Amino acid sequence: MGKKLVMAQKRGETRALCLGVAMVMCAVIAYYILGTTVLPLYQKSVWTQKSTCHLIETNIRGQEELGGKKVPQYPCLWVNVSAVGRWAVLYHTEDTRDQNQQCSYIPGSLENYQAARADVEKVRAKFHEIQTFYCFSATRENETTVLYQRLYGPRTLLFSLFWPTFLLTGGLLIIAMVKINQSLSILAAQK
């Protein structure tokens, strides 16, 4: 009976050790992926200075003239603000600026023109309600653009690192508990 209990205990310890090592390996892989994707974006971000922006004007752009004809395009919002003592164009995120420099806010769903237009009008109304809000500007002097929200800020980095850190800590705790259990059972067997 005692031999069967010891064998079952060893199998359980082996499985627990495998689980702990697998969790640590998954955490290492996740850290590597985050270190090659999110961390460089965070380090390259120049939008680090938090400023107060005052709304100057908003404009909804929805149609474009090509060859004298109005061509329906997705609606977008154009926002001018006063930030850091100068006039600037507000962009929702870093990606908004890269997608279309003529739009400050691009709606998420572009399939339905009317729904996208309603979304843009809702955002415009919110800007007109608050008038003064925080934004992010670059540290460069000649920069005339600001961001409403940073995609690659410290909060994003912390949220990205939470689960790998949880996995690493859990895996190390499992390994430590198994090793402590093994040493205690050896001590108990010696007495």
**Using one digit for the tens of pLDDT, what is the confidence trace for 107-140?**
887 778 788 888 889 999 998 898 898 888 887 7
Q: Is the pLDDT of residue 101 over 70?
A: yes
Query: Does this model's pTM top 0.75?
Result: no
Indicate the domain borders of the chain: 49-154
pLDDT for the residue 69: 46
Q: How many residues does the chain have?
A: 191
In the predicted structure, residue 65 carries a pLDDT above the cut 60: no
Q: Which carries the bigger pLDDT value, residue 179 or residue 110?
A: 179
pLDDT band at 41 (very low <50, low <70, confident <90, very high): confident
Whole-angstrom Cα distance, residue 149 to residue 151? 6
Computed on alpha carbons and rounded to an integer, the radius of gyration of the chain in Å comes to 28
Where is pLDDT greater, at 63 or 156? 156
Q: How confident is the model at residue 60 (pLDDT cuts 50, 70, 90)?
A: confident
Q: How far apart are CA 28 and CA 164, in angstroms?
A: 8
76: its two tokens: 């977008």
Cα–Cα dist 76/102, whole Å = 8
Which pLDDT band, with edges at 50, 70 and 90, does 66 fall under? very low
Cβ atoms 63, 73 nearer than 8 A: yes
**Do 60 and 151 form a contact (C-beta atoms < 8 A)?**
no
CA of residue 58 relative to chain centroid, distance: 27
